[in-house]
Structure 1
Amino acid sequence: MHTDAVHQNQFVSMNGSSVPVLSRLSFLAGEPFAVNVAFRTERGRWVEWTFARELLADGLVEPTGIGDVRLRPDLAADEDILFLEIESPEGYALIEFEREDVAQFVQATLDLVPLGTEHEHFDVEALIDEITNV
């Protein structure tokens, strides 16, 4: 069975809390430049962020990102951890992922759409139609 999406759920630590938070990473081959990360809130809702897949891949090996989304492996203390920092006018969050879990997710996205071939999977005309038919 062939699929055009990759999804991964895992519990993560948010802002140093001892209570884990359910997270979901997702990727769609039809939107090959982006990944989505979502966190389940106390009220049962999901808070979602979308950012560049390449940013996630690069963040596995070195600090990357400026602005609202930054990633970095914790190479100093615990190389098994990947930090994701998210900032918005509403607040700031520091999320700790298992680095190997994220690496497996990234590899699964690369198996679907290798880096550098995103343009072959992205429908620019559909995006233009969506934007102009608002």
Structure 2
Amino acid sequence: MSTVIEQAVEARLVAAAPRMQTIPATLHYDRQDPFAVQMSFPAPATLEGVEVSWAFARELLTQGVERPVGDGDVRVRPYGFDRTVVEFHAPEGTAIVHIRTGELRRFLHSTTALVPLGHEHHYVDLDQDLAELMRDAC
């Protein structure tokens, strides 16, 4: 069984230039980092012209499809019947994307099949993580 899940999604960038109404994005989940998900945007979809990835809590995405959550760099909330808004806040500005809620639920269902919610701690190797931290500190 694979320990990584990747799913392409179509994101609609709010207030985007007309040439880029929808952008491809990729959701990524790795059992070795069970608390986090990543969302990546390809270079043509970014102001800097380089691929951009955001990592944030899987729990934030899970709760955000149901109700507004987040007060930091990433915020998620339902929008209408079939969309979810994900906001990315950085010093350079804010990017707001709409994603089909069904796509997010499908991705979350796959991550939950790989690592059930509430069981993430079983997939964290604290001894290895501590050894890496100590090695880097010397």
The SS at the match of 2:104 is helix
Deviation, structure 1 residue 38? 0.7
Structure 2 spans left out of the alignment, 5+ residues: none
Structure 1 spans left out of the alignment, 5+ residues: none
Deviation, structure 1 residue 41? 2.3
Q: How many angstroms apart in 1 are the aligned matches of 2:90 and 2:134? A: 28
Which aligned runs of 4 or more in structure 1 are off by greater than 6 angstroms?
none
Deviation, structure 1 residue 82? 0.4
**Equivalent residue, structure 2, for 1:21:** 23
Q: How many angstroms apart in 2 are the aligned matches of 1:95 and 1:108? A: 22
Residue 71 (structure 2) pairs with residue 72 (structure 1)? no
1:40 to 35, 39, 42: 42
Q: How many angstroms apart in 2 are the aligned matches of 1:12 and 1:52? A: 19
Which structure: greater helix fraction? Answer: 2
Deviation, structure 1 residue 68? 0.8
The SS at the match of 1:23 is strand
Q: How many angstroms apart in 2 are the aligned matches of 1:49 and 1:16? A: 20
Q: How many angstroms apart in 1 are the aligned matches of 2:88 and 2:134? A: 30
The SS at the match of 2:33 is coil
Q: How many angstroms apart in 1 are the aligned matches of 2:121 and 2:95? A: 32
The SS at the match of 1:16 is coil
Q: How many angstroms apart in 2 are the aligned matches of 1:51 and 1:62? A: 17
Relative to the length of structure 1, the TM-score reads 0.90
Aligned residue pairs, count? 130
RMSD of equivalent CA atoms: 1.4
Residue 121 (structure 2) pairs with residue 119 (structure 1)? yes
Q: How many angstroms apart in 2 are the aligned matches of 1:59 and 1:11? A: 18
Q: How many angstroms apart in 2 are the aligned matches of 1:120 and 1:5? A: 16
Q: How many angstroms apart in 2 are the aligned matches of 1:79 and 1:12? A: 16
- The letter for the 1-side match of 2:87 is E
Deviation, structure 1 residue 110? 0.4
